[in-house]
Amino acid sequence: MQPINRALVSVFDKTGLVDFARQLVEDFHIELLSTGGTARKLEEAGIPYTKVSDYTGSPEMFDGRVKTLHPRIHGGLLMRRDNPKDVSDAEKFNVQPIDLVVCNLYPFNEVIAKAETSLEEAIEMIDIGGPTQIRAAAKSFPSVTVISDPSKYDIVLQEMHANKGAVSDKTRMELAQQVFATMALYDATIANYLGRTYSEKYNSMDPSVDETQFPELLVKLYQKVQKCRYGENWEQKGYYYRDTTATAGLQNLTQLHGKAISFNNWLDIDSCIQVLLDFDQDHSKHYVCSIFKHTTPNGLAVDYQSQLEATKRAFSCDPLSAFGGIWGFNQRLTKEVAEYVILEKKVFVEVLLAPSFDADALEILKTKDNLRVVQFDDLLKKREECYDLPEIRSVVGGVLVQDYDWLPIIKQWETKTERNVTDREKEALIFAYRACKWAKSNSAVFAREYDTGVYTLGIGAGQQSRVHVVKLAISKAEEFGHDLKDSVMGTDSFFPFPDGLVAAAEVGCKAILNPGGSMRDNLVIEKANELKISLAFCGKRVFRH
């Protein structure tokens, strides 16, 4: 390891810069090269340095766009110290080695996050000199140390004090890797911004063309957030990574109590949050309780007056499957709900989600060591930010990308039968169909309205046969004592035959909502009229595989 003798210092984020630079000079007698605002900062602090323009013999140009782009700078970074030809060239062209680069980039992402930022302003924040410096230094990591993050100052200083002014091979390599990861994110952010701007500008005249979320090259970078306890199964490793371009999402959750979140927990949390986002948009002043198991709802309720009542109704749908489930709430969790779940029903809950918690509710929840208590703050209010994110699902050797389906649940309401539906029945049908959207297709959901809300009675999900999913929902409802007389049913299934409708009518269902569009719709409508039940089409498919 060779000690550092010369450093190039040029940073946008000047956090910790003065103290770091002072130690480089006073403790290790390092020559500093600097320019622009960084040089002014050093000068104000009384730290000696050499101007880059004096070092290169070339003035700054084009309002500072060209400052460090010079052979004496990049030759000093890229020359191979152990290559005789490079050493000879360095002597010939008066190039001296630069052993340390301290540089961070213009905050492009922060600038474009401001709504008022113009394209011209964004372009000016595309850093050129900084990326060129740190990439060159990172390529030469066997002999050059590069710091692109102020949080690394102390680590480098500690090593230099321990190694007589040198930095270990391992640390130089790790710092170089960080540079290339930083550049990948930086370039991806610029590429996505320009792609989005291009799409919005040039496709605005044709609303049918929208490539904003689906560019020719989909560039994404993910940052590790947490190691999961294990993967989907015990033998698998699992990690949670966040989309570095996303401003809203699960990365903003705060775990207040309990074991580490597992891979499967994250999947269930994601599903539960999506349901709350969907149901809460029409019920922000109401109470939603969503109970999930294996990414599928097994109990949902909306109550207009009481969080406790919503909880009781959701739990009643399938109390057996609620064991080991994920429970989500759209409002601050109250003490009475915590008492009901933990003390009265004594349900084992894997994860309990809410935007916030009453202090006494949290104390009750913390009596369960293994219960993961997760707070998601104002995530539901950031709905629009979540809607802009693409949904990415992996397949062997690639990914499938689509936009999330946040459009209205009813595309076009059409009652197809002689028996119409009341306003309350329509509300319950829409609720059932929305619940159906979040179950695996094919799915069917029986629901009932009551004085202050609506809740699920039986949920059937993920069946290959359209009639069997109806029968599954019926059997689950009956198993837990629900009378389906005068209930309603939503199903994402097209009815190619009347058998599914007949199965629902036989247990007393009074109204059904489905997308419509089957070749045999007329046959099914005739059977509904014969059985004197309502059949409505919404014109929207909500399959979820």
pLDDT tens per residue across span 259-299:
999 999 999 999 999 999 998 766 567 999 999 999 999 99
User: Does residue 510 belong to any structural domain of this protein?
Assistant: yes
Lowest mean pLDDT, pick from 61-70, 241-250, 369-378 = 61-70
User: Is 185 found in the same domain as 70?
Assistant: yes
The Cα–Cα gap between 58 and 71 comes to: 11
Examine the pLDDT at 496 and tell me if it is beyond 50: yes
Examine the pLDDT at 430 and tell me if it is beyond 60: yes
What share of the chain has pLDDT > 90, as a percent? 64
CATH of the domain at 449: 3.40.140.20
User: Is 140 found in the same domain as 29?
Assistant: yes
198 vs 318 pLDDT, higher one: 318
SS3 207: coil
Rounded to a whole number, what is the distance in angstroms from the first to the last CA of the chain? 56
Length of the chain: 545
State residue 390's pLDDT score: 82
User: Is 354 found in the same domain as 429?
Assistant: no
User: Is 153 found in the same domain as 10?
Assistant: yes
State residue 210's pLDDT score: 53
Element (H, E) at 536: strand 534-537
The Cα–Cα gap between 207 and 196 comes to: 15
State residue 205's pLDDT score: 47
State residue 449's pLDDT score: 95
Lowest mean pLDDT, pick from 62-71, 112-121, 252-261, 304-313 = 62-71
User: Does residue 197 belong to any structural domain of this protein?
Assistant: no
The Cα–Cα gap between 445 and 493 comes to: 11
State residue 67's pLDDT score: 74
Domain end, chosen from 172, 192, 212, is at 192
Segment 378-394 shows an average pLDDT of: 84
User: Does residue 252 belong to any structural domain of this protein?
Assistant: no
Segment 387-414 shows an average pLDDT of: 87
User: Does residue 408 belong to any structural domain of this protein?
Assistant: no
* Structural domains in the chain (count): 3
Q: Which of 111, 185, 113, 114 lies closest to 148, judged by CA?
A: 185
State residue 203's pLDDT score: 56
Examine the pLDDT at 23 and tell me if it is beyond 80: yes
Please give the distance of CA 379 from its chain centroid, rounded to a whole number: 11
Residue 378, CA distances (Å) to 188, 254, 284 in order: 28, 12, 12
Q: Which of 257, 289, 258, 253 lies closest to 269, judged by CA?
A: 253
User: Is 155 found in the same domain as 22?
Assistant: yes
Lowest mean pLDDT, pick from 155-169, 235-249, 256-270, 405-419 = 235-249
User: Does residue 58 belong to any structural domain of this protein?
Assistant: yes
The Cα–Cα gap between 143 and 169 comes to: 8
User: Is 368 found in the same domain as 436?
Assistant: no
Domain end, chosen from 143, 177, 192, is at 192
CATH of the domain at 170: 3.40.50.1380
203 vs 51 pLDDT, higher one: 51
The Cα–Cα gap between 126 and 105 comes to: 9
User: pLDDT by residue (tens digit) across 66-105?
Assistant: 777 888 888 989 999 889 998 898 888 888 999 999 999 9
User: Does residue 222 belong to any structural domain of this protein?
Assistant: no
446 vs 82 pLDDT, higher one: 446
Examine the pLDDT at 201 and tell me if it is beyond 70: no
Strand pairing report for 239-243 and 222-227: antiparallel
177 vs 71 pLDDT, higher one: 177
Q: What angle do CA 259, 265, 270 make, to 5 degrees?
A: 130
Token pair for 420? 């119409």
Query: Which ranges of 328-422 does DSSP label H, i.e. alpha helix?
Result: 335-338, 359-365, 383-387
User: Does residue 224 belong to any structural domain of this protein?
Assistant: no
Examine the pLDDT at 399 and tell me if it is beyond 90: no
What residues are labeled active site? 139, 294
State residue 247's pLDDT score: 78
User: pLDDT by residue (tens digit) across 239-250?
Assistant: 999 887 777 889
Domain end, chosen from 174, 192, 210, is at 192
User: Is 418 found in the same domain as 374?
Assistant: no
Segment 343-354 shows an average pLDDT of: 96
User: Is 443 found in the same domain as 347?
Assistant: no
User: Is 160 found in the same domain as 52?
Assistant: yes
User: Is 432 found in the same domain as 294?
Assistant: no
User: Does residue 241 belong to any structural domain of this protein?
Assistant: no
Examine the pLDDT at 202 and tell me if it is beyond 70: no
Look over the chain and give the mean of its residue pLDDT values, rounded to a whole number.
90
Examine the pLDDT at 486 and tell me if it is beyond 90: yes
User: Is 428 found in the same domain as 374?
Assistant: no
User: Is 471 found in the same domain as 365?
Assistant: no
Examine the pLDDT at 209 and tell me if it is beyond 60: no
Segment 171-183 shows an average pLDDT of: 94
Q: Give the domain range for residue 86.
A: 6-192
